[in-house]
Structure 1
Amino acid sequence: MRGFSGFPPGKTLTVALPNQFFTELLQSIDDLIELKLTLYCFWALHQQDGEYRYVIRREVLDDALFLSGIDADAGTARERAIDAFERATARGTLLHVTVEGVAGPEDLYFLNTTRGRNAIRAIEQGHFTYGGRDCPVALVVERPNIFSLYEQNIGPLTPMISGQLKQAEDEYPAEWIEEAIRLAVERNARSWRYISAILNRWQTEGKDGGQPTQPTEADHYRYIRGEYSDIIDY
């Protein structure tokens, strides 16, 4: 067994792991290579910048250091790594999509987060394009930034509002946030708390709740006189 000399003194780079990794995934993953790959993906994604972060399978299979920790034979290591990708995808840890790259098809893997699910859905609907690692997955059509939308339609950004917008961006599809802002403007309820109440309701009850998408007088009354009346801030 190869020994470990310990972590060096002083500050070291760290990689954050979500709490669910320890409370749900760790005890359910029963394959060592899948566990190694899962941890590797967290590390690889942490090295990236940008809104949409993903692992390219080809790059992982070309990482000699990672493969050496799987099997001494590179060919066997690659086969076991591919199997680990399939296991992690079947488990739901990773989300897989194949896109047409510069040199042919590329297998991309996103973490199964709200942002990852939104990216997969957008790619499948043709809203994203892929141009290789130097030209990463990006929107085909640039959508308004939610921070700009808020400033243009609701009011000035404060540090607290910016933090809440950032959290909402991680929790809800961008289309929901844009529509909630539009509804707040149409109903003359220009408040983040009003927008947040709409988003929370959609998440709890399902978006539109089976009702028409255009707001009605009854909808408006329910928001300003009903369960959200204490948080309406005109």
Structure 2
Amino acid sequence: MKTFEGFPDKFEFTAVPKPFLAQALPLISSLEELKASLLFFRVLYQKKGFPPYVTAAEIADLNSGLDEAAADQALSETAARGTTIKLAVVEKGKPVALYFLNDGRNREAVQEIIAGRIKLGSITPNEPVKFVSSPELPDIFSLYEQNIGLLTPIIAEELKEALKLYPESWVKDAVKEAASLNKRNWRYISKILENWAAGGRNDGTYFGNPQKDPDKYTKGKYGKFVRR
């Protein structure tokens, strides 16, 4: 077994986001994905300019035990997990994948790159690779991506829970209303649903018949959003 000789007297630290440690890390079972995730953060936080991104070649150059092909495969797993956003591009006639941290700023930046409003030198956007597959998901997921932003695993779970609590038409309409007001985030959508559940909608519709089961919508994860 190869061993580590310990830390020197002086060394640098690499920032690792707390949500990764708290939410993503417990889900990872692949050593390659774990290595790629940590090396991604190492490279990312040394980058300057906006938006910062990492390539498989940069991971391979770190003497990480991953060649470029293995690094790209492992980084693809981070994108599938939702840690990163993978964007397929063409650079000097060669296809390459760029990996961005999956946060709000970068989700918007990737959309701007695809639209051609952000230029990355000689890099030309190609077909973007979505990090959450959606062909078999209900239409609400496609609606969210089209109107609000890229769908992360966490948001997908929030939408599933909301569909258990509210009529699907309500959830869809709340997404559309948030988009029309340029409030493109899940928190605002959930606030719209809370208000509708508490006081009814402008079209005069109410949330079922509360007399049948007065506790039906105050139980579970979204109970805090409903007042009686």
Return the TM-score normalized by structure 1: 0.50
2:35 matched residue in structure 1:
36
- Secondary structure of the equivalent of 1:65? coil
Residue correspondence of structure 1 range 125-136 to structure 2 within 5 A: 125-131=115-121
Tell me how far apart the structure 1 counterparts of residues 59 and 92 of structure 2 sit (CA, whole Å).
18
Distance 1:129 1:22, change over 3 A: same
Q: Select which of 71, 79, 84 maps to 1:94.
A: 84
Q: Is 1:82 paired with 2:69?
A: no
Select the structure that is richer in helix.
1
**2: CA distance, partners of 1:94 / 1:128:** 19
Partner residue of 2:4?
Answer: 4
After TM superposition, the structure 1 = structure 2 runs for residues 12-161 of structure 1, keeping only pairs within 5 Å, are: 12-61=11-60, 63=61, 65-66=63-64, 69-70=65-66, 77-131=67-121
Q: Distance in 1 between matches of 2:19 and 2:104?
A: 14
The code of the aligned residue for 1:119 comes to: A
Check the 8 A contact 2:53/2:101 in 1, yes or no: yes
Percent identity over paired residues: 33
For the aligned residues, what is the CA RMSD? 3.1
Unmatched tracts of structure 2, length 5 or more: 126-148, 150-180, 193-228
- TM-score scaled by structure 2? 0.51
Name the CA shift for 1:79/1:102 in 2 (closer, same or farther; >3 Å). closer
Instruction: Kindly provide the amino acid, as one letter, of the partner of residue 28 in structure 1.
Output: L
How far 1:200 sits from its partner (Å)? Answer: 8.7
Q: 1:5-51, CA deviations, whole angstroms, 9 ceiling, x for partnerless residues?
A: 211114x2111111112211111011000000000000000111123
| Residue 214 of structure 2: aligned partner | none
1:122: how far off? 0.7
Distance (whole Å) between structure 1 residues aligned to residue 87 and residue 184 of structure 2: 31
Aligned partners of 2:184, 2:74: CA distance in 1, in Å? 38
Assess if the C-alpha contact under 8 Å between 2:89 and 2:96 holds in 1.
yes
After superposition, give the CA deviation of every residue in 1:104-137 in whole Å (9 maximum; x if it has no partner).
33311101011221111111111122225xx9x9
Q: Is the 8 A contact 1:44 1:55 kept in 2?
A: yes
Determine helix, strand or coil for the equivalent of 1:100.
strand
**Matches of 1:106 and 1:34, distance apart in 2:** 19
What does residue 205 of structure 1 align with?
Answer: 188
1:102–1:131 contact (8 Å) kept in structure 2: no
Change (3 A) 1:19 1:64: closer
**Number of corresponding residues:** 136
Give distance in 1, aligned partners of 2:100 and 2:184.
27
The answer to whether the 8 A contact 2:87-2:98 is kept is yes
Q: Report the 3-state secondary structure (helix = DSSP H, G, I; strand = E; otherwise coil) of the residue aligned with 1:95.
A: strand
Counterpart contact for 1:58–1:106, Cα < 8 Å: no
Distance in 2 between the 1:100 and 1:126 partners? 13
